[in-house]
């Protein structure tokens, strides 16, 4: 298990997390990933991708611990990245585009003019057939990923910063400043609203009906989507919280948080005692201003991510969905074949991710 986090200082951190009776986090690598601050990170069972204000997406092979290449389709800060299983990656940026990437050859299958302004957030339905996006044009858009076209447009009163599907795909939420609107899929109407005192910067589904919310304060709050009531709140950091990640491991619900105070913390959440504060398993100080966070899980068969339950629960279903996309992919590749060839991938000489500075210092001393 690897904690990966990006920061303003252009560095991608990797920490090996070892679950046991007493969890430990060991620095694994540091990599100067971009020429500007990191803005987004996403993982699947093999790759980590990072987006930046330098307008590029960098790819890292976590199994080989090497740099895999760069994607240069966007013109503008990369604002959001999300994998669908092992087959596809969606990226959004300030240029208003959403790009659909094949993760086998890293080709851009389709480049969609998604919003008139920036794309601020996107989320893929667990089935892989739909995606939602929000942008600075005050719209929420539904995308048919099988046909690569717009399916529905909803006008919002304000710009939304976050959109997220629930793990079962039955509902989705949008975040507008300090307000969370909860929608049902079958009616596409708001069923409830959660309002916080501070601006919300991160939201994560813990279960199909429980969400974790964090923002411009030190608190993490758990809310019920059904009742919109706060189930628990606790002080997690000494500064504002930038990102939350969650996953399930052998029946244990684990939450990982990253803050502007430089700390990454791992928490154990007991859903049977949801009103109690989660217990802190371990923490690490990166001494950097963190911006984004993800957890690379190297044992996909044993670990189930909350955000991708349906996509990874059955390899048979995965293959079936992939074949559906392949059949329908002709309409994507015909329109963007020239673009895909021209702006596909820069494959630099494969570089091994750097070991932590602490290890380098020790090596120098031993040589001396």
When pLDDT is cut at 50, 70 and 90, the band that residue 299 belongs to is low
Q: What are the residue boundaries of the structural domains of the chain, listed by start?
A: 74-300
Min mean pLDDT across 105-109, 111-115, 173-177, 346-350 is at: 346-350
Question: In Å, how far are 54, 106, 270, 331 from 242, measured between CA atoms?
Answer: 20, 29, 23, 38
Tell me the C-alpha distance between 28 and 361, whole Å: 14
Tell me the C-alpha distance between 158 and 358, whole Å: 46
Report which of residues 361 and 1 the model is more confident about.
1
Assigned CATH topology for domain 74-300: Methylamine Dehydrogenase; Chain H (2.130.10)
Question: In Å, how far are 82, 100, 109, 170, 239 from 147, measured between CA atoms?
Answer: 19, 12, 11, 22, 44
pLDDT at 312: 43
Please provide the average confidence, as pLDDT, over all residues in the chain. Answer: 85
pLDDT at 301: 37
């Amino acid at each position: 298990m690897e904690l990966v986090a990006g920061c303003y200082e252009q560095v991608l951190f990797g920490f090996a997390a070892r679950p046991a009776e007493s969890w430990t986090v060991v620095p694994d690598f540091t990599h100067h990933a971009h020429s500007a601050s990191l803005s987004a990170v996403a993982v699947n069972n093999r790759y980590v991708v990072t987006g930046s204000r330098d307008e590029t997406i960098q790819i890292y092979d976590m199994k080989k611990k090497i740099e895999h290449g760069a994607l240069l389709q966007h013109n503008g800060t990369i604002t959001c990245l999300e994998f669908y299983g092992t087959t596809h990656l969606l990226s959004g940026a300030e240029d208003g585009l959403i790009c659909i990437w094949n993760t086998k050859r890293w080709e851009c299958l389709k480049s969609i003019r998604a919003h008139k302004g920036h794309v601020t957030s996107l989320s893929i339905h667990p089935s892989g057939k739909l995606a939602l996006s929000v942008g600075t044009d005050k719209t929420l858009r539904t995308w048919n990923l099988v046909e690569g076209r717009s399916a529905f447009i909803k006008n919002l009163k304000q710009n939304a910063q976050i959109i997220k599907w629930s793990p079962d795909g039955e509902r989705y939420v949008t975040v507008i400043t300090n307000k969370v609107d909860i929608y049902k899929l079958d009616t596409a109407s708001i069923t409830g609203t959660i309002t916080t005192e501070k601006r919300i910067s991160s939201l994560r589904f813990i279960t199909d009906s429980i969400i974790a919310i964090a923002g411009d304060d030190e608190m993490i709050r758990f809310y019920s989507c059904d009742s919109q009531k706060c189930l628990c709140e606790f002080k997690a950091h000494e500064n504002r919280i930038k990102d939350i990640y969650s996953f399930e491991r052998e029946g244990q619900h684990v939450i990982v948080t990253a803050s502007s105070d430089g700390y990454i913390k791992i928490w154990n959440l007991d859903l049977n005692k949801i009103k109690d504060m989660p217990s802190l398993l371990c923490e690490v100080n990166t001494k950097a201003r963190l911006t984004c966070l993800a957890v690379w899980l190297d044992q996909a068969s044993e670990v189930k991510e909350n955000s991708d339950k349906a996509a990874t629960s059955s390899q048979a279903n995965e293959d079936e969905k992939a074949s559906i996309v392949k059949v329908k992919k002709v309409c994507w590749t015909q329109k963007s074949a020239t673009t895909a060839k021209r702006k596909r991938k820069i494959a630099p000489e494969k570089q091994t991710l750097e070991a932590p500075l602490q290890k380098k210092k020790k090596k120098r001393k031993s040589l001396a």
